[in-house]
Amino acid sequence: MSIKLGFYVFLIHSLLITSSLCNSCASKEEVVPSPEEGQCSQESVKQSFVTRFTECSLSPEVGEGPYFIEEDIIRSNIVEDRIGIRLNVTLNLVDFNTCKPIKGAKVYIWQPDYSGIYSGFMDKPRVKREKMYPKDPRRFLRGTQVTNENGTVTFETLFPGHYPGRTPHIHYRIHANGNVAHIGQIFFDESTSQVIQSKSPYNQVHSRRMKNEEDGEFTYFNGKKSIINIDPQSLSGDSLEGILNLAINPLHRSNLMWA
């Protein structure tokens, strides 16, 4: 087991201890209810190619990684000067207890460019367990949006590149009720990744692309529940359309911050 994964296991372990302690003291704010407690309607609203929320089981969190920068860069289009395959990411947030949209939550996303580089950390620093501070002023492929009345945010971005040890992914973090309520990563199904990696500029990157099932974070955090739904029609064009529905607990306080 890698040191990094060990660290996550430690975090998860402390999360479990915290929530069981809190269950016994019945502090409502701290308790993370189990998905079965969610009272969710079975109604669904057709939204283009995806059916919204036929169930509201709690979406899994995924570790934050070292490259988050807490700056509110409020914008939908985060591409700047980067090249790659266009990707629109829509996230629909609902409260897993009520299945109702979460309005006014702040959603951050950040991701590497096609070559695996994150803005702010373009010199590829050695990853340490403590908090990492950005070394350069670039902020491409980072942005923040506030969910609308439907609990929705949309970002215009690019398909993310890969780098050694990780499958392609996009990070996100959700602030609600003044807390870091949910931290996650967006993944892609293998067939989508295969199509994209065969295209320029992704095919010019020579490090091997790790598959989801080989990625310790994907498997540990049940990443298949964080795979974005890509419109199959968009896959044959030159820009992708993806939707991920997230059922979260807006009163949760995430323990998955890097440091």
Ligand X SMILES: *[C@@H]1O[C@H](CO)[C@@H](O)[C@H](O)[C@H]1NC(C)=O
Which CB, 19 or 234, lies closer to ligand X?
234
The DSSP secondary structure of 240-256, one letter per residue, reads: EEEEEEEEE-TT-----
Which CB, 9 or 146, lies closer to ligand X?
146
Provide, rounded to whole angstroms, the least separation between the CB of residue 246 and ligand X.
Answer: 16
**182 annotated as ligand-binding:** no
Distances (CA, A) of 138 to 68, 75, 79, 82, 106: 13, 15, 12, 11, 21
Provide, rounded to whole angstroms, the least separation between the CB of residue 238 and ligand X.
Answer: 9
Provide, rounded to whole angstroms, the least separation between the CB of residue 240 and ligand X.
Answer: 6
253, 30 Cβ separation under 8 angstroms: yes
Provide, rounded to whole angstroms, the least separation between the CB of residue 144 and ligand X.
Answer: 17
Distances (CA, A) of 132 to 10, 95, 144: 19, 31, 20
**133 annotated as ligand-binding:** no
Which CB, 123 or 149, lies closer to ligand X?
149
The pairing of beta strand 86-95 with beta strand 152-158: antiparallel
Distances (CA, A) of 116 to 89, 152, 202: 19, 27, 10
Q: Which residues bind ligand X (CB under 6 A)?
A: 88, 148-150, 156, 234, 239, 241
Which CB, 159 or 218, lies closer to ligand X?
159
**171 annotated as ligand-binding:** yes
User: What is the distance in angstroms between the CA of the first residue and the CA of the last residue of the chain?
Assistant: 20
**175 annotated as ligand-binding:** no
Residues making up the annotated binding site for Fe(3+) are 118, 163, 169, 171
Residues making up the annotated binding site are 118, 163, 169, 171
